[in-house]
Amino acid sequence: MTDNAQAKTMLVPIMAFMRRFRLALPVLLITLLGIIPVTASAQTDAIEDAKEEKENAYDEWLAARAEVDAAVAILVELEGQLADLEYRIDRMEGRIDEDEDNIADLRSSAQNLVINAYINSGSSTLESALGASNIQDILTAQHIINRAADRGTATLDRLDAITRDLQRQSSILDEDRQDIDALRTQQADLVGSLDELEAIAEELYREAKAQYAAEVRAWEEAERRRKIAEAAKRSGAAGGLPGGTIPDFICPVAGSMSFRNDWGNPRSGGRTHKGTDVFARKGTPLVAVVDGTLRFRDGGLGGIAIWLKGSGASYYYAHLDSRASGLSTGSYVTRGTVIGYVGNTGNAYGGADHLHFQLHPGHGSPVNPYPTLAAAC
């Protein structure tokens, strides 16, 4: 099998792979897009499924790249073989031209020798036969003629052999060029679809990767809610959450402050205190304790207030002097973002400036935030 025939044979599975990959893409896409959020009890399986889909999509992309690279490598090798063949044929054509020039010179020399011999033999035959010098001349002339004839025959034989080889090589070159043209056509089809296939494969991988990340986040949030709920249940509302239960929690007051465990202290109307009062100077910045979504509330006992809904818990900021500009209900903020400033609005008006802070595990009833604040502030 010639190199070109072998290369064409190697391209067959590559093209077949591309067809299979095209057919597999819709199925893979439907599979990926068909993954939906699941209940907490099945989230571990969902994560494993999403991870497998992500890895499969990535493998498909790698396979597409590898097959195309292999096809291109084959064609590059064929281009090199074709260039080498053309170079050898060029050299052969040069040798033929040189041999043809040599043949012309030899024919001319032979003709001159024959003419001179004929002219010389036209003088006295006897003198030519008896004169050693003339006989030597005749013998020398005949030797030259014979030698020229021998050289001419050898050169003609060499020319004939080279010409036949040239014709054979030219025929091979023509076949190779046809093969190269066919392979270039296949290459154009192959490489032409690369961008499309690669884009689809990359999109599938992004979808699978994003789905996997979403499943992991959902599992982490469910775990966070579960741990917070279990901690609150063990400690009770007054006990709050042990420090570190909410690992990404930061102090809500960005400045000098003071607070103590005042959960359950009596309040007007027979109420008891359901949070922690953090005392600080008016205007001290208040920041989001976790990533989450804001909801604003004005009026009532809390005055200017903000709810921050995070993962696994909600947080209530009350008695603010003002809220940070550029924010509104529905704004998403990352932890550490300034969302308001310490004040004494609501039923705290006229009293000491402070932040009334509440912690609501699972977005339900409040628990004592003191242990959480004491660990972070």
pLDDT digits (tens, 9 = 90+) for 250-262: 999 999 999 999 9
Give pLDDT, residue 276.
96
Report the domain count for the chain: 2
Residues 326 and 286 occupy one common structural domain = yes
Per-residue confidence (pLDDT) for residue 368, from 0 to 100: 94
**Does residue 92 lie within any of the structural domains?**
yes
Spatial contact of 294 and 339, defined as CB atoms under 8 Å apart: yes
Residues of the chain with pLDDT > 90: what percent? 29
β-pairing, 304-309 vs 354-361, is: unpaired
Question: Residue 167's pLDDT is what?
Answer: 76
Residue 131 has pLDDT above 50, yes or no: no
pLDDT exceeds cutoff 90 at 334: yes
Give the span between the Cα atoms of 22 and 43, in whole angstroms: 31
pLDDT of residue 126: 39
For 368, residues 6+ apart whose C-beta sits below 8 A from its C-beta are 237, 238, 239, 240, 261, 263, 264, 276, 359
In this prediction, residues 187-208 reach a mean pLDDT of 68
Q: What is the pLDDT of residue 231?
A: 72
Does residue 223 sit within a domain?
no
Please check whether residue 229 lies inside any domain of the structure.
no
Residue 250 lies inside a defined structural domain of this protein: yes
Task: Taking each helix axis as running N to C, give the angle between helix 3-33 and helix 194-239, from 0 to 180 degrees, rounded to the nearest 10.
Answer: 30
pLDDT of residue 375: 93
The whole-angstrom separation of Cα 282 and Cα 349 is: 12
Examine the domain organization and report whether 60 and 168 are in the same domain: yes
Q: List Cβ neighbours of 294 (8 Å cut-off, separation of 6 or more).
A: 306, 307, 308, 309, 327, 328, 329, 330, 331, 332, 333, 339
Instruction: Look up the CATH number of the domain holding residue 128.
Output: 1.10.287
pLDDT of residue 354: 96
Residues 245 and 322 in one domain: yes
Residue range 25-78, pLDDT digits in tens: 555 555 544 544 444 556 677 777 777 776 777 777 777 677 667 766 766 776
Quote the pLDDT of residue 211.
76
Q: Is the pLDDT of residue 132 over 50?
A: no
Percent of the chain surpassing pLDDT 70:
59
Within a domain: residue 79? Answer: yes
Q: Tell which wins on pLDDT, 18 or 81.
A: 81
Could you tell me if 199 and 292 lie in one domain?
no
Q: Is the confidence at residue 320, as pLDDT, over 70?
A: yes
Same domain flag for 14 and 102: yes
Instruction: Tell me which residue range forms the domain holding 320.
Output: 240-376
Cα dihedral 231, 234, 237, 242 in deg (nearest 10): -40
Task: Report which of 243, 265, 255 is spatially closest to residue 373, judged by C-alpha positions.
Answer: 243
- Specify if 344 maps to a domain: yes
Per residue in 204-262, pLDDT (tens digit) is 667 777 777 777 777 777 777 787 877 777 767 888 888 888 988 999 999 999 999 99
CATH number, domain containing residue 345:
2.70.70.10
Is 233 among the domain residues?
Answer: no
My answer on whether 169 and 254 are in the same domain is no
pLDDT greater at residue 10 or residue 179: 179
∠ CA 67-71-72, rounded to 5°: 120
Residues 197 and 257 in one domain: no
Report the C-alpha dihedral over residues 203, 207, 210, 216, rounded to 10 degrees: -150
Q: Pick from 191, 210, 229: which residue ends a domain?
A: 210
Same domain, 181 and 273: no
Domain contains 234: no
Is the pLDDT score of 82 beyond 80? no
128 and 246 co-located in one domain: no
